[in-house]
Amino acid sequence: MFRKKDDEYVEMATDPIRRRNEIKTLSTRRILFLVIVALMAFGAIGGSCSGWNGRQSGLAFFGLIVSWSGLVQAETHLRLLKIVEKLQKGRDDKPTAQ
């Protein structure tokens, strides 16, 4: 089920141009998710303190959890691609044995 997506991710991670583009995209996505999480947290906490009923508070906190998971996923993929980028640069910088 996930094999096709895994294969696409590996192909993207091994291609330097696609990898750099994905790093830029994930950096932007991470910032976007961070803003969304902050707004949802303020809204959920503020709503709970202002007397929302249980359903409204539950939906707000559920949205916060979903947004947080998107932030964590973007952060994880970004870190992995940055590590691959550093390893690739380190391999390219080393002189070859003659």
pLDDT tens figures, 40-49: 888 888 877 8
Q: Which 3-state string (H, E, C) describes the chain?
A: CCHHHHHHHHHHHHCHHHHHHHHHHHHHHHHHHHHHHHHHHHHHHHHHHCCCCHHHHHHHHHHHHHHHHHHHHHHHHHHHHHHHHHHHHHHHHCCCCC
pLDDT tens figures, 49-85: 877 777 777 888 888 899 999 999 999 999 999 999 9
CA distance 50 to 4: 47
